[in-house]
Amino acid sequence: MSPAIAADRLSRTFHALSDPTRRAILARLSTGPASVNELAAPFAMSLPAVSKHLKVLERAQLIQRGREAQWRPCALQAAPLKEADAWIERYRALWEARFDRLDAFLADLQSNKAPR
């Protein structure tokens, strides 16, 4: 990851979310904390590969790793997802307004072409 991406929390969040394995890990963690072995179980990949995905998620502050005796649970951290959702929402509202204006324009265009 480039230093510019590393410096921007929103970019780190979107980078982490760009991979389907990491999204699946987050989906699993949305049901509660899990160990690395539990997170790795559904995937046909090595534990070191899963750990690399977890490091990306941890750098993006999407997960937090704890320590309870020999168990190192991972837990979802929602704050970066809320920030990404807020960013997306601004653009969703903008595009919905534009599409509503386009719909109105097309409806007006159609009504003016209708035979009288």
How confident is the model at residue 25, as a pLDDT?
A: 97
Which residue's structure tokens are 């929602």?
78
pLDDT value at residue 115: 64
Residue ranges per structural domain of the chain: 3-113
pLDDT value at residue 20: 97
CA dihedral 34, 39, 40, 43 (to 10 degrees): 160
CATH code for the structural domain at 3-113: 1.10.10.10
pLDDT (tens digit per residue) in 44-73: 999 999 999 999 999 999 999 988 777 789
Q: What's the pLDDT tens digit per position in 20-46?
A: 999 999 999 999 999 999 999 999 999
